[in-house]
Structure 1
Amino acid sequence: MRFLLIALFIFPGLAIAQNPYPQDYFSNPLEIPLILSGTFAELRSNHFHSGIDIKTQQRVGLKVKASADGFVSRIKVSHYGYGKALYITHPNGYTTVYAHLQKFSPEIEAYVKKQQYKKESYEIELFPSAETLLVKKDSLIAYSGNSGGSGGPHLHYEIRDNQERPINPMLFGIDIADTSGPYVKSVYAYPLDKNAFINNSNEKQKLRLIPLNNGDYAVENIQAVGNIGIGIETNDRQNYAPNANGVYNIQTFFNGNRNFELDFKRFSFSETKHINQLIDYEHYATKRQRIQKLFKKNNPLSIFKSVVNNGVLHIKDSAYAVYKIRIADFKNNETWVTLNIKGEKSPTAKPTETKITPYYIKANQTTNLKEGAVSVDFYKDTFYDDFYLDFELHNDTLKLHKDVMAAKKYFNITYNVSNYNTTDKRKLYIARLVGSKQYPAYTTTKRKENTLIASTKTLGTYALATDTINPTITPINFKNNQWMSNYHYLKIKIDDVGSGISNYRATVNGKWILMEYDYKTKTLTHSFSDGVVTDTKNNLKLIVTDNVGNNSTFETLFYRK
């Protein structure tokens, strides 16, 4: 069997042809019923969700099993993102992904730790050969956890095709109980140019929803004229869970004809950034509500289907129109929204005035702005739309518009700091001022001679900030000269109130030891099961460095038999 499995990877022509989405090939990766806290392609910050999030009963340490025969093709361990993640490639060309793990199976864990100690790094990415870590269907590969950017214990599970495109796992027969239709939170109508009006206004309008007894919705009748678009805030719930999850399909019909569709079966990672053009980004940035626009403008997403006139509704004066929205989940539970539109414009209606500034950004051109010691570089196609930009500098504080325009590329903010002395210069970083108290949030800052450069996709207010405070290091479960013979772990809390933690290094008796960093709890943990602490008397030394180079050193003695 081992030879056959390897042969199928080397000679894929030997494999039996599969349907596009083979059924019953992939099994449940957990030994408990599948209940979801997140669905495929649901809307997340700056990306679509690339898998399903399976609840683990608010626990960590549940056995995670391989969904099918295959080999471990990639292992990634990170402080953020997926945390501890495992990728298994299968003979049919698909890859399953298991993320936010607590730890790997003993064989895989030993393989990973050997490489971590060799590289002296907790964060690591490995690509084992097809012969190194073979797995059988339903064999133990890991234990569920809460590592990386996870907001609570669960298993993130994906199925990707041979082009690394994530596909909805439910298309492969992964069954989730769901007997109720999606629900709608809000509906908005958008005038799309200065000649379009909705209820005599040239501004976006929130429409009153009227729930119907059968679970569908009516929307208050509107008067409109010109080119308009509709947006919707909608979610779905599966059985046995209260989570507001994403929907599977949205279709719209204008006077009985389908004119727009969003189909969440599959996407590519290269396009997921365009989610911010799918949603009403300004609304999300200011109110944290994701309104999906049911019309298309300057957006290359592949999830658009059956698009007529980009989903735009052209409403003629004195005409009547009916607009319907069909929202469905994977089990084809559906919810309908109906909107009646009367073509009518008041003679007193006027277009909204656009704020004019000296700085007009053309999306298809590169723009370089400079004021005093600060310059900003917007490269071609940084933004989706043209707009007038607010650009003001007061001392070292840069007002760079508001965070209301979606960006698809990074732009650079550069500060010339040659007027600072050498000592002060080393402690500077570029910060984005956030919240009502304008907290200086560290923005990744590169140093090049007398300049500081930050690359970002977020407009807003930026400033130079100074960090002269060293990180703090606090032991959690031990003190100096303590006997730790009966302890399984060594735990330390690290924190930094300024620019944030950049890196850390721990040694015992001069030898590097592996310490796992959980940024959510600000905790470093070393497991004595690694077997590297073998002496009775042990000198622990930990150095923690922040993002501008301030560092703290902690040393202590502990004893083990």
Structure 2
Amino acid sequence: MKQFLLFFLLTCSVYGQSEYPQDYFRHPLDIPLVLAGSFAELRSTHFHGGLDIKTQQREGLKVYTAAEGYVSRIKISEFGYGKALYVTHPNGYTTVYGHLQKFSKRLEDFIKECQYEKESFEVEVFPNSEELLVEPNEVIGYSGNTGSSGGPHLHFEIRDNQERPMNPLLFGMQVKDTKAPYVSAVFAYPKDGTSTINGKNERVELRLIPKDEGAYDVEKITAYGNIGFGVVSNDKQDLAPNNNGVSNIQTFFNGNKSLEVDFKRFSFDESKHIRRYVDYDYYKSNKSKIQKLFIEQNNPLSLYKDAYDNGFVLVEDSTASVYKIKINDYHKNETWVTIPIEGKPETIEQDDFIDTSEKALVYSSKATTLNSGLINVKFYENTLYDDTYINFRVNSDTLFLDEDRIPMQKNFYINYDLSNYKSEHQEKLFVARYYGNYWKPYYVSSSRKGNILTARTKSLGTFALATDTVPPTIKPINFQDKKWISKYRYLKVKIDDDLSGISKYRATVNGKWILMEYDYKTNTLTHDFNDNIVKDTKNELKIIVTDNVGNSSTFEATFFRK
């Protein structure tokens, strides 16, 4: 360990002279670096923390450590990164490898011992710096599709010593990209009630005029007062059709820099504020993310630089101005958008009447509680970004709480008083959110204390109590009761629950706990006989599956192996 720490300090001293060490980290796969997702790409609830590297639609490709170091964290979860490895390197950085199919044998043996000790598929361990040393170019795992992956690929990150993800391309990795970012829409926003754009005091989509590659004009607009702009923009690399994120956006007003958004690094704590960075209302209605090129209150993102007047520009009467947007991908391919502005005050009709009969004012800077009958909704301080009127109505046990178009910083809480329900019925109740074409109920994470059932969520919408009395289903996939399965390496079972969802499961053979890996995308439990737990000829299998309100099913079968 002393040798490792000495090397760590010496290497940090050398690389401290360069902001991003080049040629230190290798590409973690043996195939060309082609991206399915880029760093800081805009996802629905966060900025993407790494590179999604294509694996040619295959699983099982060798994954190499990007440099020497030690495995500092192993996490296996049903969602998120699935099977993930974290390697800490002597230069202070940590690399992350997510959605793995499996680990190398040495690491697989280590983590399975932990899983059997804890009797849990989901585990998280933090080995010390001497336990799992890895060499340069060592195979540490195999690419897969575990966790919340939407298809086979490798999620790869580089984090600094404060656990902040950084763009791996900063460290010398190369992706072929000769294409400039493209723009699909541009919008203008009034800052307040006295500002106008084309005679309106609301978000206005501007007419975009494509020119040569990397250049767009916008039809001249009339405006007055303080206004901001937003853009919908993506990038494509040469070898992939994916719509990836851009690397840098700068804005200029009459030649002077107004704002810069730089996607080199961010912290996971701030990533949730993507809901403030994009126009959340527009995204929920149109499935398109407008990047707002101005900074509103309660926006703590560290991505901004050189923000003059928070990115807003002042358009005065009888002036001719030009607003420009410069968009770069990581390889410095650039795109310009030019917006000519005529300063012209225009009178708009102000509708000062706000129908508050079914609206409630929820404050940003202090807690707000909404009550009606046996339901109350609690918004703690700083749950919303702005003071907002929210539609609030209760009909029996159905709560109408506006629509999911208002961004939240954190969860709010819905409390149902179940005093009117019999105790045996209370146990099967859960809070459901209703949406979709068929108005299907979806389980909202809930807990019960006494007669109070509490659900927490970040999404407004329609909620109601739902009852689940049907236990999960358990069906064998590749075996039958009282049959021989000696030729099979895996034991597979399908589990499902059509209402509140699977909460937990437990499997034993001859009374011993066995590891069964759960893939929620296929509702499959899989046991690997190579774990060498099942050694008898005659085996009694027992699986218990429980849903989120406590309904349980038990499956039992006998199988034989030589």
Question: What TM-score results when the alignment is normalised by the length of structure 1?
Answer: 0.97
Aligned match of 1:169 = 168
Aligned match of 1:154 = 153
CA distance in 2, matches of 1:379, 1:89: 38
Contact 2:250–2:257 (CA<8 Å) still a contact in 1? yes
CA distance in 2, matches of 1:383, 1:315: 30
**Residue 437 of structure 1, CA deviation:** 2.6
Aligned match of 1:504 = 505
CA distance in 1, matches of 2:2, 2:251: 52
Aligned match of 1:333 = 333
CA distance in 1, matches of 2:100, 2:213: 42
Aligned match of 1:43 = 42
CA distance in 1, matches of 2:243, 2:550: 42
C-alpha deviations, 1:226-276, integer Å up to 9, x for none? 121111110001111000000000000011111011000000011111110
Aligned match of 1:513 = 514
Which residues of 2 match residues 99-498 of structure 1 at below 5 A? Answer: 99-298=98-297, 299-347=299-347, 349-351=348-350, 355-357=354-356, 359-498=360-499
Contact 2:181–2:327 (CA<8 Å) still a contact in 1? yes
Per the alignment, in what secondary structure is the counterpart of residue 114 of structure 1?
helix
Per the alignment, in what secondary structure is the counterpart of residue 337 of structure 1?
strand
**Residue 480 of structure 1, CA deviation:** 1.1
Residue identity matched to 1:477 = N
**Residue 351 of structure 1, CA deviation:** 3.6
Residue identity matched to 2:33 = L
C-alpha deviations, 1:336-370, integer Å up to 9, x for none? 001111112334x2245574425212211111111
CA distance in 1, matches of 2:143, 2:208: 41
Aligned match of 1:16 = 14
**Residue 438 of structure 1, CA deviation:** 2.1
**What CA RMSD, in Å, does the superposition of the two structures yield over aligned residues?**
1.4
Contact 1:194–1:352 (CA<8 Å) still a contact in 2? no
Per the alignment, in what secondary structure is the counterpart of residue 407 of structure 2?
coil
CA distance in 2, matches of 1:220, 1:15: 53
1:5 is the counterpart of 2:4: yes
CA distance in 1, matches of 2:11, 2:144: 38
The number of residues matched between the two structures is 558
Contact 2:195–2:225 (CA<8 Å) still a contact in 1? yes
CA distance in 2, matches of 1:94, 1:326: 31
Residue identity matched to 2:555 = F
Per the alignment, in what secondary structure is the counterpart of residue 283 of structure 1?
helix
1:53 is the counterpart of 2:13: no
Aligned match of 2:69 = 70
CA distance in 1, matches of 2:353, 2:268: 35
Residue identity matched to 1:172 = F
CA distance in 2, matches of 1:389, 1:474: 45
Contact 1:202–1:352 (CA<8 Å) still a contact in 2? no
**Residue 197 of structure 1, CA deviation:** 1.3
Per the alignment, in what secondary structure is the counterpart of residue 16 of structure 1?
helix
Query: In structure 2, do the counterparts of structure 1 residues 354 and 559 end up closer, same or farther at CA, with 3 Å as the change threshold?
Result: farther
**Residue 214 of structure 1, CA deviation:** 3.7
Per the alignment, in what secondary structure is the counterpart of residue 272 of structure 2?
helix
**Residue 331 of structure 1, CA deviation:** 0.4
**Residue 13 of structure 1, CA deviation:** 8.4
Per the alignment, in what secondary structure is the counterpart of residue 314 of structure 1?
strand
**Residue 433 of structure 1, CA deviation:** 1.1
CA distance in 2, matches of 1:183, 1:417: 53
Aligned match of 1:80 = 79
Per the alignment, in what secondary structure is the counterpart of residue 478 of structure 1?
coil
**Residue 15 of structure 1, CA deviation:** 5.2
**Residue 219 of structure 1, CA deviation:** 1.0
Residue identity matched to 1:482 = K
CA distance in 2, matches of 1:227, 1:506: 63
Residue identity matched to 1:312 = F
Runs of 4+ in 1 over 6 A off after TM superposition: none
Residue identity matched to 1:496 = D
Query: In structure 2, do the counterparts of structure 1 residues 470 and 324 end up closer, same or farther at CA, with 3 Å as the change threshold?
Result: same
Unaligned runs of 5+ in 2: none
Query: In structure 2, do the counterparts of structure 1 residues 16 and 199 end up closer, same or farther at CA, with 3 Å as the change threshold?
Result: closer
Residue identity matched to 1:483 = W
Aligned match of 1:545 = 546
Per the alignment, in what secondary structure is the counterpart of residue 44 of structure 1?
coil
Contact 1:144–1:154 (CA<8 Å) still a contact in 2? yes
Residue identity matched to 1:16 = V
Aligned match of 1:534 = 535
Query: In structure 2, do the counterparts of structure 1 residues 326 and 484 end up closer, same or farther at CA, with 3 Å as the change threshold?
Result: same
Contact 1:202–1:350 (CA<8 Å) still a contact in 2? no
**Residue 36 of structure 1, CA deviation:** 0.3
C-alpha deviations, 1:287-327, integer Å up to 9, x for none? 21110000000211000011011111211122111010000
CA distance in 2, matches of 1:51, 1:33: 17
Per the alignment, in what secondary structure is the counterpart of residue 169 of structure 2?
helix
CA distance in 1, matches of 2:349, 2:273: 32
CA distance in 2, matches of 1:34, 1:25: 16
Per the alignment, in what secondary structure is the counterpart of residue 47 of structure 1?
coil
Per the alignment, in what secondary structure is the counterpart of residue 271 of structure 1?
helix
Unaligned runs of 5+ in 1: none
**Residue 411 of structure 1, CA deviation:** 1.3
Residue identity matched to 2:150 = G
Contact 2:399–2:464 (CA<8 Å) still a contact in 1? yes
Contact 2:364–2:382 (CA<8 Å) still a contact in 1? yes
Query: In structure 2, do the counterparts of structure 1 residues 225 and 15 end up closer, same or farther at CA, with 3 Å as the change threshold?
Result: closer
Per the alignment, in what secondary structure is the counterpart of residue 219 of structure 2?
strand
Query: In structure 2, do the counterparts of structure 1 residues 543 and 8 end up closer, same or farther at CA, with 3 Å as the change threshold?
Result: same
Aligned match of 1:26 = 25
Per the alignment, in what secondary structure is the counterpart of residue 258 of structure 2?
strand
Contact 1:37–1:243 (CA<8 Å) still a contact in 2? yes
Contact 1:164–1:268 (CA<8 Å) still a contact in 2? yes
C-alpha deviations, 1:50-91, integer Å up to 9, x for none? 000000000000000000010000000000000000000000
**Residue 462 of structure 1, CA deviation:** 1.0
Residue identity matched to 1:269 = F
C-alpha deviations, 1:427-457, integer Å up to 9, x for none? 1001111123321111100010101011111
CA distance in 2, matches of 1:373, 1:283: 33
CA distance in 2, matches of 1:221, 1:560: 77
Moved more, 452-461 or 83-92: 452-461
Contact 1:195–1:351 (CA<8 Å) still a contact in 2? no
Per the alignment, in what secondary structure is the counterpart of residue 270 of structure 1?
helix
Contact 2:493–2:525 (CA<8 Å) still a contact in 1? yes
Per the alignment, in what secondary structure is the counterpart of residue 109 of structure 1?
helix
Query: In structure 2, do the counterparts of structure 1 residues 217 and 550 end up closer, same or farther at CA, with 3 Å as the change threshold?
Result: same
1:98 is the counterpart of 2:113: no
C-alpha deviations, 1:456-479, integer Å up to 9, x for none? 111111111111111111111111
**Identity score, percent:** 56
Residue identity matched to 2:331 = K
C-alpha deviations, 1:134-168, integer Å up to 9, x for none? 00111010000000000000000000011000010
